[in-house]
Amino acid sequence: MKMLTIGVFIFLGFFLISAIPDEENIITDQQLLNATKHLENFSKVNDEPQFILGAVAAACAPSGRMADGIHDNKYINVYINEKGFVEMTGKKIPKFSIGTMILKEKMGLIQDSVLKHGTTELFTIMIKRENGYNPDCGDWEFASVDVKTSKIERGKIKSCQHCHTSCAETDFVFRTNYLGKQYTNALK
């Protein structure tokens, strides 16, 4: 009986410890801000800034944001950290590991003789979290960082999940409209 009791305690202890989030995979607000300021630490996965329609741009805005031009057309760049690079660029059906971080840089438009991208306005970010964090959306945490104010919104953001649940097959990550040709041709 004593051995059974010890075995149950060991099992329960292991179970409880495995349910605790891995502290080194939790990204702080300061680390999010730093990531947006140090894109050289990430790999850009699109060949050139990609045009997106205003309706899509507005869907990827922080909740309650009423800034000028929020419904305007935008350009985006997409970056990923080393943990997720191979899955993003080399797998047709990726399975991203905990700690993967994907940053989408949204830029305004400049109307010249030709439309081109302007300055960065916003970053939207996906962070792959521990198993069970957000099971309805692949355990991704969503975040947005307003470049002007450094305001951060993060968590299980419903507007993000609303769109990303449509691409569960690719671990809830869109890639079809921006992934560079050198990568789309290599997806296995």
pLDDT tens per residue across span 77-105:
999 999 999 999 999 999 999 999 999 99
User: Is 118 a residue whose pLDDT tops 90?
Assistant: no
Please give the share of the chain, as a percent, with pLDDT higher than 70: 77
Inside any domain, residue 1:
no
> Binning pLDDT at 50, 70 and 90, where does residue 9 land?
very low
Return the C-alpha torsion angle 178, 180, 184, 186, nearest 10: -160
Q: Where are the alpha helices (DSSP H) in 20-95?
A: 29-37, 54-59, 82-90
Q: What is the mean pLDDT of residues 44-63?
A: 82
Inside any domain, residue 17:
no
Inside any domain, residue 65:
yes
Tell me: the pLDDT tens digits for 135-162?
999 999 999 999 988 999 999 999 899 9
Inside any domain, residue 72:
yes
Inside any domain, residue 18:
no
Q: What is the pLDDT of residue 7?
A: 44
User: Is 24 a residue whose pLDDT tops 60?
Assistant: no
Return the C-alpha torsion angle 181, 173, 164, 150, nearest 10: -100
- What does the angle CA 183 – CA 45 – CA 168 come to, to the nearest 5 degrees? 80
CA dist., res. 8 & res. 26, Å (int): 30
Inside any domain, residue 5:
no
Q: How many domains does the chain have?
A: 1
Inside any domain, residue 180:
yes
Q: What is the mean pLDDT of residues 118-146?
A: 95
Strands (DSSP E) found in the chain: 43-44, 50-52, 74-80, 101-111, 115-128, 140-146, 152-155
Inside any domain, residue 14:
no
Q: Domain range for residue 102?
A: 30-184
CATH of the domain at 178: 3.50.70.20
Dihedral sign from CA coordinates of 7, 10, 13, 17:
negative
